[in-house]
Amino acid sequence: MSAVMGRYKPGDAVRVDDRAVAGHCRAPWYLRGQEGVVVEVLGNFRDPERLAYLRPGLPRQILYKVRFEQASIWPNYIGASSDALEADITENWLHASDTAKRGAQAL
């Protein structure tokens, strides 16, 4: 699975798009607009947001495991500063983030 080459690589800082979508959607609302770091390129999968409507799921989407700092998602988060949340996000939901330095630190 790791042989897949996408726009992003482990360590890259990314931001989840914050567009609104009516219908089936796999980018959780609570992560829209959030910044995280790619920890793994998971593979190349049929697009679930098209498969849900009985379409072939094309074009396929590169899937990334993205790590978010809990404290950056939830302003009142209670826990360790290293606590993290990881979610699997398709490339069509991601943008390169300006705060690229965070990547090296978080990994």
Partner 1 sequence: MMHDHDHDHSHDHAHDHAGAGHAHPPQRDHDAGPMGVYEVMEEAVRTLLIEKGILSHAEIAVQMDLMDSRSAALGAKVIARAWVDLAFKQRLLADCRSALAELGIDIGQIAEFKVVENTPATHNVIVCTLCSCYPKLLLGIPPAWYKSLAYRSRTVVDPRSVLAEFGVTVAAEQTVRVHDSTADLRYIVLPMRPAGSDHMSESELAALVTRDAMIGTAVPAAVRS
Binding interface with partner 1 (CB under 8 A): 1, 26-28, 30, 42-43, 45, 48, 63, 65, 70, 74, 77-80, 82-90
Residue 87 Cβ, how far from partner 1 at the closest point, in Å?
Answer: 4
Nearer Cβ to partner 1 (83/98): 83
Q: Nearest distance from residue 77's CB to partner 1, in Å?
A: 8
CB-side exposure of 68: number of CA atoms within 13 Å?
23
Q: Tell me whether residue 61 or residue 97 sits nearer to partner 1 (CB atom).
A: 61
For the record, the structure tokens of 87 come out as 């979610």
Bridge partners, 13 (sequence order): 37
User: What SS3 class is residue 2?
Assistant: coil
Residue whose CB is less far from partner 1, 17 or 45: 45
- Minimum gap (Å) between residue 101 Cβ and partner 1: 20
> CB of 85 within 8 A of CB of 68?
yes
Q: How far apart are CA 13 and CA 7, in angstroms?
A: 12
